[in-house]
Chain A
Amino acid sequence: GAVVSQHPSWVICKSGTSVKIECRSLDFQATTMFWYRQFPKQSLMLMATSNEGSKATYEQGVEKDKFLINHASLTLSTLTVTSAHPEDSSFYICSADTRQGNYGYTFGSGTRLTVV
């Protein structure tokens, strides 16, 4: 089946620094990937749609200058949280559209970001 690899699985960073999270499609090409954020005991909220070779599309209320998305190849999308603050601490999850393979949308394992 389709596999989406995400890392790191967890990261702790100091306030004001930047953190990069990688999302790779291992056995398929992903023209489009999606980035979600999930706070404790809450649902997944879509942050942005990452498009290979073009700019990401951000959801309303998501700061594009703070959450930089790069999708330079068909197998890799990255999310960089810039100038992180404690309120950015969350669980970040990427996914890819694998509906053609009858797997729905396939998700990565998530990254727990803690900003101290």
Chain B
Amino acid sequence: GESVGLHLPTLSVQEGDNSIINCAYSNSASDYFIWYKQESGKGPQFIIDIRSNMDKRQGQRVTVLLNKTVKHLSLQIAATQPGDSAVYFCAENNGNEKLTFGTGTRLTIIP
């Protein structure tokens, strides 16, 4: 479903540690999910996507997990680096053209 973020959740992680960012979605008809990274003053940058016929997908240092039963999505970033500091959004698509964004989480990597 649609969400408007009035409060941006934050997560602080020590450099080198792993981070997990969570996202709950509301539309059970959604079948395609994407994680985006947004740095200040820039547009969202594609990180990784997953379709509803999968429950896990891995990329370079990132893993997305999908739990359709509880409508939950997570992004795991391994061995975090200072450049990983940004706002991360999950987004969902329910088979039409539109993409609906979640609230977002601000990730801060502590050197």
Contact = CB atoms under 8 A, between A and B. Distances in A.
B98 A44 contact: no
A110 B42 contact: yes
Contacts of A46: 98-100
> Do most interface residues of chain B lie in helix, strand or loop, or is the interface mixed?
loop
A110 B89 contact: no
Contacts of B45: 107
A95 B102 CA distance: 16
B34 A41 contact: no
A46 B93 CA distance: 13
A107 B36 CA distance: 10
A18 B5 CA distance: 28
Interface residues of B, number: 26
A45 interface: yes
Main secondary structure on A side of the interface with B: strand
Contact of B102 (A41, A43, A99): A43
A112 B41 contact: yes
A25 interface: no
Contacts of A42: 4-6, 8, 104
A86 interface: no
A105 interface: yes
Interface in A29-64: 32, 34, 41-46, 49
B68 to A, nearest CB: 19
A11 B91 CA distance: 28
Interface in A66-116: 91, 93, 95, 97, 99, 102-110, 112
Interface of B: 2-6, 8, 32, 34, 36, 41-46, 49, 89, 91, 97-104
